[in-house]
Amino acid sequence: MHPSTSYLLSWIILGAVVASSDTTTSTCDALSSVLSDVFFPESDIYNASISSYPFIQLRLHPTCIVRPKTSQDVSIAVNVLRESGCTKFAVRGGGHNANAGFNNIEDGVTIDMQSMNAVDVDKEVVRVGAGAIWQDVYDVVEPRNLSVLGGRIGVVGVAGLTTGGGISFFSPERGWVCDSVVNFQVVLASGDIVDVNATSRPDLFAGLKGGQNNFGIVTRFDLKAFPQGPIWGGRIAFAPEADTALVSAFTEFKNPHKYDPYAAGWVTLRYNGSTKQFTPTSILWYTRPELKPGALAQMTEVGPQVMNGMQEAYAGEFTRNASLVVKSASSRTIWATTTFHISPTIVHHIHSLWKSLVPKICETYAYARPTSELTFQSLPPSPQNGSHPNSLGFAPDSTPEKDLVFLQIIFYFWDASATEGLNNALKEFIKMFNEIAEEEGVKHKYIYLNFAAWFQDPLGGYGKEQVETLRHVARKYDPEGLFQEQVVGGFKLF
Ligand SMILES: Cc1cc2nc3c(=O)[nH]c(=O)nc-3n(C[C@H](O)[C@H](O)[C@H](O)COP(=O)(O)OP(=O)(O)OC[C@H]3O[C@@H](n4cnc5c(N)ncnc54)[C@H](O)[C@@H]3O)c2cc1C
């Protein structure tokens, strides 16, 4: 059925229902009268959808869940939701943003894109349904000796990661994941299904690269692929006493004079509040199959090591193995982030502060069995001159910044009553880390949206001018503010 025909039909039906009560329940009834895949509490698919959120705090209970199979289904759903005038809704891709309410909703409608996960390759463009996870993509492209800029853990969604920026194995060489999009297919607030690319709606094209759910629902991502064989990499776990050497090695790795576009990865300092153990780890890759490349040598040679999983494999094998760890976790998870330029001392100072405070915090909330992680990663260099703009606030540059580090601080825990206290701890940590960066004169305004906490302002971190541009784009493509007023979750422009 043509979207506009089903839309009209929905409104004949909804008219009757809504006339009596304009509630979310009646919107769900209207949705289920025109779409086959609308699920209510107690149905198996509803329950499977809720339990597939990886972190417990994300398992909210919407009045109904819509699982569209086509862009037309999404268009119909958007029309019904818009005409309801008030029903709040959420959009879910892979469901891996840790902020409760960003990808699911209590007593509203959740549009769960999981059924739209087809992946097709057409020469060097990969068309990816917006409900796909990265493992779906690697599994299709790698047998063709291709790869894409994508997530480094297979269970993570294409949609959220790409519309929030996106950092890949290949980012030091090729930049942000969002910059590899050649076309977005999008359902706008009007219900229109449109193509968005460098020549068709270029303002929205830039907006979707960093503006996430502020403009519409992306239904398909067309990604540029490139020839790629296996890479070298993996995880190393170190003895607790190796932490300072590992931090020094990471600091050296980030020296912009030693920048190697094939070297990527991060270091994580972990504290388990139950065992009271610190475990430093690194996860590193070299995207050419060279064993022990110089750029990573300092980190791979830190000791003592308790486990060394460095090996040659396809990116999709690394992402599959990493997914097993995430899938088995299922805790409550909260995170926050900040960004700075590397200096000889900044990572050491931040690490020492965290190390001195985290045992006490975990002790205070011991009943929730918390674990904390402090991770340091490289930000991709700013785009090259001539790139199509994104919205992340990094101007295309002939001398891209190569010394940017972002940190992510996480608490995993198992008792909801510790949420407020641990969120406050996150806020305090970020404040103190920023003070250290300010004192050293290395603070950077960017806040990576995909790792930002709900209390942070990553859009503001793109810069005032960029936010104004994004607001203009939102007004142009969504003049009634559907994606501001009714999609309440996410980082909003207004
Ligand atoms: C284990 C793990 C590993 C990670 N690894 C990486 C990594 O390697 N690189 C990296 O950059 N980040 C990484 N991240 C962060 C990741 O980018 C974010 O968590 C991101 O939000 C995940 O995307 P998703 O589709 O799963 O998100 P969801 O939680 O489903 O969505 C996130 C946001 O995007 C919006 N959204 C979802 N679908 C659409 C759509 N179709 N149209 C418009 N808006 C939509 C949602 O409304 C929501 O606000 C990782 C996170 C986790 C938990």
Would you say the CB of residue 209 lies under 6 angstroms from ligand 1?
no
Residue 16 is predicted with a pLDDT of 43
Cα-only R_g, the chain? 22
Residue by residue, DSSP assigns 123-176 as: TTEEEEETT-BHHHHHHHHGGGTEE-S--SSTTSBHHHHHHT----TTHHHH--
Closest CA to 210 of 176, 248, 237: 176
Averaged pLDDT for residues 306-332: 89
Q: Answer yes or no: do 250 and 272 share one domain.
A: yes
Mean predicted confidence (pLDDT) in 235-257: 96
Q: Is residue 431 part of a domain?
A: yes
**Does residue 481 lie in a domain region?**
no
Whether residue 322 has its Cβ less than 6 Å from ligand 1: no
Predicted confidence (pLDDT) at residue 28 exceeds the cutoff of 80: yes
Torsion of CA 313, 319, 321, 325, to 10 degrees: 150
In a domain, 357, yes or no: yes
E strand or H helix at 337: strand 332-341
Could you give the residue ranges of the DSSP H alpha helices within 341-488?
Answer: 346-364, 419-440, 458-461, 464-477, 482-485
Pocket test for ligand 1, best of 81, 113, 161 (most atoms within 8 A of CB): 161
Supply the mean pLDDT for the chain.
94
> Which tokens go with 196?
């968005």
Considering the domain boundaries, does residue 442 fall inside one? yes
Whose alpha carbon is nearest atom 19 of ligand 1? Answer: 97
Determine the Cα–Cα distance for residues 314 and 322; give it in Å rounded to an integer.
13
Last residue of a domain, one of 228, 261, 279: 228
Domain of 34 in residue numbering reads as 3-113
Measuring from atom 52 of ligand 1, which residue has the nearest CA? Answer: 96
Please say if the pLDDT value at position 1 is more than 50. no
- Does residue 70 share a domain with residue 147? no
Q: Verify that 263 and 405 share a domain, yes or no.
A: yes
pLDDT for res 362: 98
Please give the pLDDT value at position 329: 66
Q: Is 129 in the pocket of ligand 1 (CB under 6 A)?
A: no
Name the residue among 346, 446, 442, 429 with its Cα closest to residue 392: 446
Within a domain: 373: yes
Please indicate, yes or no, whether residues 339 and 437 belong to a single structural domain of this protein.
Answer: yes
**Quick one: 82 and 126 in the same domain?**
no
CATH number, domain at 282? 3.40.462.20
Measure the N-to-C terminal CA separation of the chain; round to a whole number of Å: 35
Which of 92, 285, 328 gets mutated to test ligand 1 (max ligand atoms within 8 A of its CB)? 92
**439 C-alpha to center of ligand 1: Å?**
32
Residues 6+ apart with CB under 8 A from 435: none
Are residue 94 and residue 238 in the same domain, yes or no?
no
User: 273 and 261 in one domain?
Assistant: yes
In this predicted structure, the answer to whether residue 2 has a pLDDT above a threshold of 90 is: no
Read off the pLDDT band of 337 (50, 70, 90): very high
Q: Which of 228, 256, 271 is the last residue of a domain?
A: 228
Residue having the nearest C-alpha atom to atom 38 of ligand 1: 93
Ligand 1, atom nearest to 217 Cα: 42
Same domain, 52 and 184: no
Closest among 443, 369, 436, 379 to 408, alpha carbons compared: 379
Q: Is the CB of 458 under 6 A from ligand 1?
A: no
- What was the pLDDT predicted at 399? 72
213 lines ligand 1 (CB under 6 A): yes
Does residue 391 carry a pLDDT above 80? yes
Residues 282 and 267 in one domain: yes
State the number of CA atoms in the 13 A half-sphere of 326 facing the CB.
19
Q: Which of 212, 328, 339 to mutate for ligand 1's pocket (most ligand atoms within 8 Å of CB)?
A: 212
What pLDDT score was predicted for residue 268? Answer: 98
Average pLDDT score over residue span 53-79: 97
Q: How confident is the model at residue 476 (pLDDT cuts 50, 70, 90)?
A: very high
pLDDT band at 17 (very low <50, low <70, confident <90, very high): very low
User: What per-residue confidence (pLDDT) applies to 327?
Assistant: 67
- When pLDDT is averaged across residues 123-139 and rounded to a whole number, the result is 97
Q: Tell me whether strands 89-92 and 193-196 are parallel, antiparallel or unpaired.
A: unpaired
- Judge whether 366 lies within some domain: yes
The mean pLDDT of 338-351, rounded to a whole number, is: 98
- pLDDT at 7 (0 to 100): 52
pLDDT of 460 > 60? The answer is yes
User: Residue 437's pLDDT band (boundaries 50, 70, 90)?
Assistant: very high
Give per-residue pLDDT as tens, 182-237. Answer: 999 999 999 999 999 999 999 999 999 999 999 999 999 999 999 999 999 999 99
pLDDT confidence tier of residue 6, bands split at 50, 70 and 90: low
| Predicted pLDDT at 5 | 52
Q: 273 alpha carbon to ligand 1 midpoint, in Å?
A: 27
In terms of domains, do 64 and 107 share one?
yes
Any long-range contacts for 461-464 (C-beta under 8 Å, 24+ apart)?
A: 461/339, 461/393, 462/210, 462/391, 462/392, 462/393, 463/393
Which CATH number goes with the domain that contains 188?
A: 3.30.465.10
The number of folded domains in the chain is 3
**Residue with tokens 């607030």, as numbered in its chain:** 189
Which CATH number characterizes residue 85's domain? Answer: 3.30.43.10
Distance 166 CA to ligand 1 centre (A): 9
Query: Is 60 exceeded by the pLDDT of residue 296?
Result: yes
| Measured torsion, CA atoms of residues 203, 205, 210, 216, in degrees rounded to the nearest 10 | 100
Task: Label each residue of 57-100 as H, E or C.
Answer: HHCCCCCEEECCCCHHHHHHHHHHHHHHCCCCEEEECCCCCCCC
In the sheet where 217-224 sits, what is the strand order? 119-122, 125-129, 217-224, 181-187, 193-196
pLDDT score at 294: 83
Element of type H or E holding 443: strand 443-444
